[in-house]
Structure 1
Amino acid sequence: MRAVIASPLALAPYLEIETIRGLEPLVLFDSQRRLLQIVRRHPRVVGLKARQLGWTWGLALFALWECIAYPVGETAVFTLDQDEANKFVWRAKRLYETGPDWLHGAFPVATDKADTFGIRHHNSASSVVAYPASGESGRSRTFRTVIADERARWKRKIGGPAAAQRMGAIRPTVADGGRMVEVSTADGYDGHYDTFMAAVEDGTDPAIGNGYVRYFANALARPGRTMESVLRERAKLDADEPGLGAQELPLTPAEAFRASGLCIFAKDALDDLLEHSCRPPIGRYDLRKTAAGVMADPSVAGGWQVWEWADPQRDYLIAADSSGGHASSDYSAAAVYDVDSWAQVAAYHGRPEPRDFARFLVRAGWLWQGRKGPALLAPERNNHGEGVVATLLERRYPRIYQQERFDQRTGKVEHAHGYMQTQHTRHVAIAALQAGASDGSLGIRDAEAIVEMSRFVDPGDGKPRAEEGGNDDRVMTHAIAAAVLGYARAGRPTTVRATSAYRPRVSAKTGY
């Protein structure tokens, strides 16, 4: 009895599973066992799989085990619709029904409904409950464990933005000390992709990433499959829809996700960056000014991700795209690049007010000092960027990128601090990023930037932008970096020293 309570793997040998041949002993695949071990050890897990690996049955076993092992609480499953969610509950119930009499006697049924199955414990009960991905149901509850099944496919039922909002509302329902498990086959670059790529492998501190541990099981994880059989099945799927075979029966995480056909960046280039350039940061940090200089304080929720610290023998560029702060739906982003190698060494993402964002950039600029002094700052100058540039000038930051513009009327070359995005310069920056991604010259480390790039599309009007419900702050940050790096490599001047403070002082709320 104690062994059964100790682990879902110990419970499995006493149960049977429904197959096309009838009831058979529940023998877990290696990928099912591995998934259950990871879920048992970590409070936040994101899984990516090929189809037909039996993960739903494995998680139904886990949900049943929790009902047996814990006297109180609920394990909630959220999936495509109510019917699919009810099927998950049925699986947990069916596993229980195949168990021995002593299990039924020790843990009798408390609730048996289509959407709820519960086990009685003296004066309490423990249940598994079913909810659809759509709607508001379950939002006000608190759960012991939440299982988001087929997370990537929710958008097909309720749309991409609604799926992201629903997931954002579900995550807070997990009780303190509870578990959040998000698993799915792939379905393009989406929120599940975001979570998976920002997570870390088992054995690595989750705090380095987004707090999640990830697990991938490829098409060969199902017993009996061979490379030849997988390739045959993939060919059949590709005959119906090109690329579907790799998505449904992937051998690597990169090929599981497919970019939109409208994406302006080459999928092969994005896949190559993900596989060979992107990597987890060495940590997250908040930057703090002290009497001794700028200090980087480790923080799980730190705004700065760092891959490499400054080398005094090298030179650095910080490109930035600003937003309106907390009241804005967009984000501010920054990317620190090694000017010599064109490799990204740090990144920022958040919603500070424009004036605060400028302060963060100044601190980062002094932290990444190189042979030419503090890092060259290249902030976008449009809209709220005007406030950022004004604050940098006010603080007399010594290295600010200056953009050249030839005035056809006067015949003079004009300079202005920051990167102004006009119809022309925006295309120049995006083209530079396209080239840097395709030829491998840009070493983008941030996987979340690649996610945004995969969603940066041209809907047919010649104006590339983030797809509906998405953001482009990271894309434009790296585009500005690519343009400025290319400009510097061409031998053009990029900086002047700010000699006077800028007035008037800008509003921290509006950026103007």
Structure 2
Amino acid sequence: MSAVAVKTEWKIELATEIRNKMKRLAKKDRAKAEAAKEILFDFEAFCAKCLKIKTKDGSLKRLILNAAQKELVRVVFEQLAAGKPVRIIILKARQMGFSTTAEAIIYYLSSLQEAKNAFIVAQDSSASENLYDMFRLYYDEMQGVFKPMRKRNNSRRLTFENPSNKDVELIKNPGLKSKITVSSAEKKVLARSETIHYLHVSELAFWPDKKKKQHLTSLFAAFSKEPGTVGIIESTAYGMELYKEMWDSAVAGRNDYIPLFFPWFEMPDYRMPVPDDFVLTENEKKIKERFNLDDEQLQWRRFTIRNDFEGDEEMFRQEYPSYPEEAFLVSGRPIFNQEQVQEDIMHAPDPIRKDFDDRLWIWEEPQPGEKYEIGSDVAEGLDEDENDASTAVVFKRRTGEIVATLQCWEEPFDHARLLDKLGRMYNNAKLAPERNNHGHAVLLALMEVFRYPNLYTHRDYDQKGNLLEKEGFPTTQKTRP
């Protein structure tokens, strides 16, 4: 990712308080006022000139955006320039600075404009305190002309208002009437009584499971859908849960969130000097070639696995993924051999074509004389956002290769129609739909309506030893293994 300057056509609408300060500065020193104006309308310059952060060694430094942070900023401000409500979901490696960047964007938008409400939610109280301290540092270290008045609060909130108790002063110069609130997902209730213009959901995958959906419902109900609003959801992966569902929906285009993935090797700090006896393992050679890495990055990776994760490479891949699927594959409680899955994904070919309105992916066309088998998992198919997909997999019997896959959200009858078409396409393949639940309706349509000629018949014996035969595959405690 190239480290290019972030420039867009969008310009912030400055609050009256800030405009008045700029006018007074122009009367005193026009050159300084022009320089200040350049900074105000260039977010990257605003970060570099005005915002300070704490470094890992405990010192303060200006916020200089790295390449990955610039990519997030570019997407946000391009969406603002397009007049859209900004919705972004981020899957990332650990400690790449996206909370810092999201807070910088929100601080910029909230501290220079009027009547804006920002709401930030972290996974727990400790994390929310860290994010609030970040905002406080931004404010405390801000230069005078860009620094709005602030009303004192006891909670984790920055309220940009005139702190005076005199009504005359408040009427004459009320301040921005904007605020930034930082909260924790551990709370019972979030944001039920106010409109949110800027929302940052931090480490969603690690929110308390019992409160995750409830809190998001409450936040989204309060979150304005107007152009110019900004919502950023970011997290590292942690199993197959709600954040994973939202990420998958964004990738598939089922919601309006823009998915941004940032692998660990895009962080410029993640590299170490290479020792003289450094020799790559076979696995490291594959990783180096696949992702075009250098030895300093691989030495950092090796050091981190050995010292931060006690040699557990799977934990490293969860916290510092190289591609999106890797993060979710190794997190949670995986059943399948992860090394083999990783290897397969890294070398998986693209389909040669798609069919059935892109629902069918084909890796090999039907071959004359070949025999094929199709297994199908049947779902209800009512709502793509809320329900599982119905799926089918086409195998070449002679080799066991997968030659095509189908994924759709059709109701049982329409799913049966697609299976009939798919089976006939592949030389009247042996077709084995699961017969549990909605599978009964699919099988009935295949037999009575489409009269499919080659359905799988499951054979079993009852307690008396009598042979039982019935179309379709029954998933039971006995057959599941």
Q: From 4, 14, 18, give the equivalent of 2:54.
A: 18
Q: 2: CA distance between counterparts of 1:22 and 1:372?
A: 66
Residue 399 of structure 1: how far off its partner (Å): 4.8
Alpha carbons of structure 1 residues 269 and 392: separation in structure 2 relative to 1, 3 Å: same
> Hey, what does 2:198 align to over in structure 1?
145
Mean Cα displacement is larger for which, 128-137 or 309-318? 309-318
Amino acid at match of 1:348: C
> Hey, what does 2:164 align to over in structure 1?
none
Residue 305 of structure 1: how far off its partner (Å): 4.5
Q: 2: CA distance between counterparts of 1:384 and 1:262?
A: 28
Residues 110 and 125 of structure 1 are in contact (CA less than 8 Å); yes or no, is this contact kept in structure 2?
no
Q: 1: CA distance between counterparts of 2:214 and 2:429?
A: 38
Q: 2: CA distance between counterparts of 1:88 and 1:360?
A: 50
Residue 426 of structure 1: how far off its partner (Å): 1.8
> Hey, what does 1:450 align to over in structure 2?
none
Residues 49 and 219 of structure 1 are in contact (CA less than 8 Å); yes or no, is this contact kept in structure 2?
no
> Hey, what does 1:466 align to over in structure 2?
none
Q: 2: CA distance between counterparts of 1:115 and 1:98?
A: 18
Higher strand fraction (1 or 2): 1
> Hey, what does 1:71 align to over in structure 2?
114
Alpha carbons of structure 1 residues 35 and 324: separation in structure 2 relative to 1, 3 Å: closer
Amino acid at match of 1:229: W
TM-score by length of 1: 0.63
The aligned runs of 1:174-323 (5 Å cut-off) are 174-176=223-225, 177=227, 178-196=229-247, 199-200=250-251, 207=253, 211-219=257-265, 221-223=267-269, 225-226=271-272, 227=297, 228-239=299-310, 243-257=314-328, 259=330, 263-277=334-348, 296=357, 305-308=359-362, 317=374, 319-323=376-380
Amino acid at match of 1:191: L
TM-score by length of 2: 0.66
Instruction: Provide the secondary structure at the position in 1 that maps to 2:120.
Output: strand
Say if 2:146 is the partner of 1:89. no
Q: Which runs of 5+ in 1 are unaligned?
A: 201-205, 286-294, 297-303, 350-355, 428-512
Residue 12 of structure 1: how far off its partner (Å): 0.7
Q: 1: CA distance between counterparts of 2:198 and 2:141?
A: 24
Residue 402 of structure 1: how far off its partner (Å): 2.8
> Hey, what does 1:35 align to over in structure 2?
72
The aligned runs of 1:112-511 (5 Å cut-off) are 112-119=153-160, 125-134=177-186, 135-139=188-192, 141-154=194-207, 158-159=208-209, 161-167=210-216, 169-176=218-225, 177=227, 178-196=229-247, 199-200=250-251, 207=253, 211-219=257-265, 221-223=267-269, 225-226=271-272, 227=297, 228-239=299-310, 243-257=314-328, 259=330, 263-277=334-348, 296=357, 305-308=359-362, 317=374, 319-323=376-380, 331-340=387-396, 342-349=402-409, 357-365=411-419, 368=422, 370-371=424-425, 378-399=432-453, 401-407=455-461, 414-427=468-481
Residues 400 and 417 of structure 1 are in contact (CA less than 8 Å); yes or no, is this contact kept in structure 2?
no
Alpha carbons of structure 1 residues 101 and 280: separation in structure 2 relative to 1, 3 Å: farther
Residues 7 and 65 of structure 1 are in contact (CA less than 8 Å); yes or no, is this contact kept in structure 2?
no
Residue 218 of structure 1: how far off its partner (Å): 0.5
Residue 219 of structure 1: how far off its partner (Å): 5.0
Instruction: Provide the secondary structure at the position in 2 that maps to 1:175.
Output: coil
Q: 1: CA distance between counterparts of 2:180 and 2:417?
A: 49
Amino acid at match of 2:54: E
Amino acid at match of 1:163: K
Q: 2: CA distance between counterparts of 1:362 and 1:77?
A: 47
Residues 358 and 392 of structure 1 are in contact (CA less than 8 Å); yes or no, is this contact kept in structure 2?
no
Instruction: Provide the secondary structure at the position in 2 that maps to 1:382.
Output: coil
Residue 61 of structure 1: how far off its partner (Å): 0.7
Q: 2: CA distance between counterparts of 1:383 and 1:361?
A: 14
Residue 275 of structure 1: how far off its partner (Å): 3.8
Residue 65 of structure 1: how far off its partner (Å): 1.1
Residues 318 and 330 of structure 2 are in contact (CA less than 8 Å); yes or no, is this contact kept in structure 1?
no
Q: 2: CA distance between counterparts of 1:375 and 1:166?
A: 48
Q: 2: CA distance between counterparts of 1:224 and 1:238?
A: 16
Say if 2:87 is the partner of 1:44. yes
Alpha carbons of structure 1 residues 281 and 186: separation in structure 2 relative to 1, 3 Å: farther
Residue 97 of structure 1: how far off its partner (Å): 2.5
Q: 2: CA distance between counterparts of 1:374 and 1:75?
A: 59
Q: 2: CA distance between counterparts of 1:64 and 1:117?
A: 10
Q: Which runs of 5+ in 2 are unaligned?
A: 1-35, 80-85, 162-172, 273-296
Structure having the higher Rg: 2
Q: 1: CA distance between counterparts of 2:390 and 2:334?
A: 22
Instruction: Provide the secondary structure at the position in 2 that maps to 1:426.
Output: coil
Residue 236 of structure 1: how far off its partner (Å): 0.9
